[in-house]
Structure 1
Amino acid sequence: MNVTQALAIRPAAVGLMLLMAATRFHHFGTAVSLPDASLAVFFLAGFWQSGRYLLVALLIEAGLIDYLAINQLGVSDYCISFAYAFLLPAYALLWQTGKYCGKQAMSTLTAVAKTLVWLVMAVSAAFFISDTSFYLLSDKISDMSWSQYAQGFVLYYPSYLGAAVMYSALPIGLLKLAKLLITPIRQTV
């Protein structure tokens, strides 16, 4: 693949970038906004076998959105600390796991279930990386005990996992359904 092919605009890539731009401003969502889709965006970017250029573009986009949200839209900078750098390996892990899952045949429900298990493991690991690094490196919670940290982890983890699974499972499920519907049509033609 040459540089021109790598940089070609792909509808799925644009869709993922728009999804992140539309949702990254609020982690959990509100009455007027959807929950953050960033974890799913990085997984799906890998799943659809995007190259490293899209990974880098998504990382830059995430940073720019955070910068604009904080400096232009008045979103709190509470989560910005030295731990912010640990989002890079967390997102790269999601992308790499998506890449692995995307190479697997999605021809059976067992294969789809395995992809879901990989997704849950990757989101869990990414959440652990980002949340634990924040606990260890942020000066904003230096007086928090491990017990309090564990309570917060248990409180926030389900919503992160739920949003990532929802945003990822929907397009993967629709893709699987489309393949199931198209296969009989091809066989009759």
Structure 2
Amino acid sequence: MNSNRFLAVKPGAVALMALMAATRFHHFGTPFALPDASLAVFFFAGLWLGGRYLFALLLLEAGLIDYLAITKLGVSDFCVSNAYGFLVGSYAAMWLGGRWCRKFTALTAVSATQQFAALWAAATLAFLISNGSFYWLSGRYPEPSFGQYLERAAMYYLPHLSSTLIYGVVIFGLVRAGKALLAGKAARQAV
């Protein structure tokens, strides 16, 4: 293995890590803080960067941020439970959704729709893993039932999904606009 490749700093990875560090403190956001972008970060890292080392680094970053938020910043530890480890599966769903999405590379409306659909599907699977494991394994619900789970899932699904999809639309849009500008510049220089 080439150690220079392992040690190379990728600006995209740094940007995604910074986005997670800036937003991870509040799941749904507040008037003063953006909602958590972690799911979108894992999706785009899988889509554009890949590599198991980056996946592991993002997992470590997420855990460190959670630890610091709870122990140093007074953020509630309500969501930290026996189910916390299942976040690895949620983030893997996003990562793999991004990697699968690599085949849709054309700058077309169809490709954009396919990428958005992949983001939606990955975010839905990530929600089912994290929300389901929390409900059934956290011990926070003394008498869990499937009916109660469906009610709670319905309550949290749209807020969970909407922030991830909004981040996705914004990031996809910025990248597509940047690619179009670069392609236009290259075409003008070729003339």
Q: Tell whether the structures are fold-level matches, with TM greater than 0.5.
A: yes
Q: Is the 8 A contact 2:13 2:49 kept in 1?
A: no
Q: Is the 8 A contact 1:6 1:51 kept in 2?
A: no
Which residue is equivalent to 2:94? Answer: 94
Distance 2:57 2:179 in 1: 29
Q: Is the 8 A contact 1:127 1:157 kept in 2?
A: yes
Aligned CA RMSD, in angstroms, stands at 1.5
Once the two structures are superposed, the pairs formed by residues 161-172 of structure 1 within 5 Å of their partners are 161-172=161-172
Once the two structures are superposed, the pairs formed by residues 71-150 of structure 1 within 5 Å of their partners are 71-150=71-150
Between the two proteins, the alignment pairs up a number of residues equal to: 189
Q: Secondary structure at the residue paired with 1:140?
A: coil
Which residue is equivalent to 2:57? Answer: 57
Please report how far the alpha carbon of residue 170 of structure 1 lies from its aligned counterpart in structure 2 after TM superposition: 1.2
Per-residue deviation, residues 56-75 of structure 1 (Å, max 9, x unmatched): 00000101111111111111
Deviation larger for 176-185 or 39-48? 176-185
Q: Is the 8 A contact 2:136 2:144 kept in 1?
A: no
Q: Percent identity?
A: 48
Please report how far the alpha carbon of residue 174 of structure 1 lies from its aligned counterpart in structure 2 after TM superposition: 1.7
Task: Give the 4+ runs in structure 1 shifted more than 4 A.
Answer: none
Cα gap change, 1:103/1:6 in structure 2, threshold over 3 Å: closer, same or farther? farther
Per-residue deviation, residues 67-110 of structure 1 (Å, max 9, x unmatched): 11111111111111111111111101111111121343132110
With normalisation by structure 2, the TM-score equals 0.92
Please report how far the alpha carbon of residue 144 of structure 1 lies from its aligned counterpart in structure 2 after TM superposition: 4.0
Distance 1:44 1:142 in 2: 37
Q: Is the 8 A contact 1:7 1:53 kept in 2?
A: no
Which residue is equivalent to 2:43? Answer: 43
Q: Is the 8 A contact 1:26 1:35 kept in 2?
A: yes
Per-residue deviation, residues 32-71 of structure 1 (Å, max 9, x unmatched): 1110001001001111123111110000010111111111
Please report how far the alpha carbon of residue 183 of structure 1 lies from its aligned counterpart in structure 2 after TM superposition: 2.6
Distance 1:175 1:131 in 2: 30
Distance 1:150 1:110 in 2: 33
Which residue is equivalent to 1:20? Answer: 20
1:151 partner letter: E
Distance 2:169 2:37 in 1: 12
Distance 1:81 1:185 in 2: 51
1:182 partner letter: L
Deviation larger for 126-135 or 66-75? 66-75
